[in-house]
Amino acid sequence: MIVIMRHNASTAEVANVAARIEQLGCQAHLSEGSERTIIGVIGNDRAIDKAHIEMMSGVERTVPVLRPFKLASRDFHPMDSVFPINGISIGGKEIVMMAGPCAVESREQLLETAELVKAAGSHVLRGGAFKPRTSPYSFQGMGEAGLRILAEARQKTGMPVVTEVMSPEQVPLVTTYADILQIGARNMQNYALLHAVGEAQRPVLLKRGLMSTIEELLMSAEYILSHGNQRVILCERGIRTFETYTRNTLDINAVPLLKQLSHLPVVVDPSHGTGHWNLVAPAARAAIAAGADGLIIEVHPRPEEAMSDGEQSLRPDRFAELVETLRIIAVAVDRTLEP
């Protein structure tokens, strides 16, 4: 349940209700809005008598929360979550662009791409150093050497870096180099990994699983939030359907739905969502029009030479053109896309 405090409730009254909730064996999560404080009750709240809580001083009412996700839910946190990531902010009025190659392939390739995407208007640099590949014979990424190259690119361009972490053991290593920890679609329900990034001191970009429902995505976000990390970015990257012309089916519905159900920022990946470079720009435009807070896009200076996902990677000039059209769409939906 959530406990809605009166708008003039004192700090002592809020603390008193929170203490009572804890005494009854649940956890109290405070969400302080400009109007009033909301206390989220986490745990087995069936043991708590709502009439008893409603009699406490400063309490306006209690509301049952029927959905299984709590901390991720907008009921608990009515305002949008907006948080800083090394100099930029996500979840607010400004759209955040993340771009770069699928994988870090070499120092030259990454530094060249980083400069080009930055010049085109990207705010964050993407690039995988640990790659979850369908085949064990495919390029698996450069590992720590790739992370070092990403850190060098950050230092040269000033862009924060987002990169994938594939196992709980890798979290400390990836955390030393990355600004945002990416949880790949294949690992969305790797609960040990969600627990580990829940304890990390970095924002997390959580990608929707290939065959996962929106509720399952939000439950995975709940794992991270419940382990103490409040900086979770949800990422719609397409799901598997019967369609074979595209790699995945980008679920545009997920964008407004996630924004309604949750306060967390929502980013769309039109590269994996479509699988074809010539579908990336239209899908990206649709995502911004639908209310996404940002995009993550694969860009490669020579897509035909890419070691992974070349067919869905944009050339830097095409990425630059796309960003210009997105600026116009952003304004149409009362957002901005700053250089």
Q: Is 236 in the site for Mn ion (CB under 5 A)?
A: no
Q: Which of 15, 35, 36, 18 is nearest to 27 (CA)?
A: 18
Q: Which is nearer to Mn ion, 90 or 299 (CB)?
A: 299
d(C-alpha 325, C-alpha 256), whole Å: 21
Residue with tokens 């603390």: 15
Q: How far is the CB of 58 from ligand PEP (least distance, A)?
A: 45
d(C-alpha 14, C-alpha 225), whole Å: 22
Q: How far is the CB of 140 from ligand PEP (least distance, A)?
A: 12
Q: Which of 19, 67, 18, 55 is nearest to 38 (CA)?
A: 18
Q: How many CB atoms lie within 10 A of CB 33?
A: 12
Residue 175, amino acid = T
Q: Which of 25, 40, 79 is nearest to 263 (CA)?
A: 79
Q: Is 197 in the site for Mn ion (CB under 5 A)?
A: no
Q: How far is the CB of 96 from Mn ion (least distance, A)?
A: 19
d(C-alpha 256, C-alpha 262), whole Å: 10
Chosen from ligand PEP, Mn ion, none, partner binding at 203 (C-beta under 5 to 8 Å by type): none
Chosen from Mn ion, ligand PEP, none, partner binding at 185 (C-beta under 5 to 8 Å by type): ligand PEP
Select the span of 22-30, 141-149, 277-285, 301-309 touching Mn ion (CB under 5 A): 301-309
What is the binding site for ligand PEP (CB under 6 A)? Answer: 102, 128, 132, 184-186, 207, 237, 272
Q: How far is the CB of 225 from Mn ion (least distance, A)?
A: 26
Chosen from ligand PEP, Mn ion, none, partner binding at 117 (C-beta under 5 to 8 Å by type): none
Q: Which is nearer to Mn ion, 81 or 182 (CB)?
A: 182
Q: Which is nearer to ligand PEP, 53 or 218 (CB)?
A: 218
Q: Which is nearer to ligand PEP, 17 or 142 (CB)?
A: 142
Q: Which is nearer to ligand PEP, 185 or 268 (CB)?
A: 185
Going from the C-alpha of 41 to that of each of 32, 33, 59, 65, 228, the distances in angstroms are 14, 17, 14, 9, 15
Chosen from ligand PEP, Mn ion, none, partner binding at 87 (C-beta under 5 to 8 Å by type): none
Question: In the bound complex, which residue of the shown chain has the CB atom lying closest to Mn ion?
Answer: 102
Read off the DSSP letter of residue 313. P
Q: Which is nearer to Mn ion, 102 or 225 (CB)?
A: 102
Q: Measured in whole angstroms, how far is the alpha carbon of residue 330 from the centre of its chain?
A: 19
Q: Which of 165, 260, 146, 253 is nearest to 203 (CA)?
A: 165
Q: Which is nearer to ligand PEP, 202 or 207 (CB)?
A: 207
Residue 230, amino acid = Q
Q: Which is nearer to ligand PEP, 41 or 149 (CB)?
A: 149
Among 90, 102, 188, 196, binds Mn ion (CB under 5 A): 102
Residue with tokens 């190259």: 149
Residue 280, amino acid = V
Q: Which of 180, 206, 176 is nearest to 193 (CA)?
A: 206
DSSP bridge pairs for 74: none
d(C-alpha 175, C-alpha 99), whole Å: 19
Q: How far is the CB of 206 from ligand PEP (least distance, A)?
A: 10
Chosen from Mn ion, ligand PEP, none, partner binding at 26 (C-beta under 5 to 8 Å by type): none
Among 309, 314, 323, 326, binds Mn ion (CB under 5 A): 309
Footprint of Mn ion (CB under 5 A): 102, 309
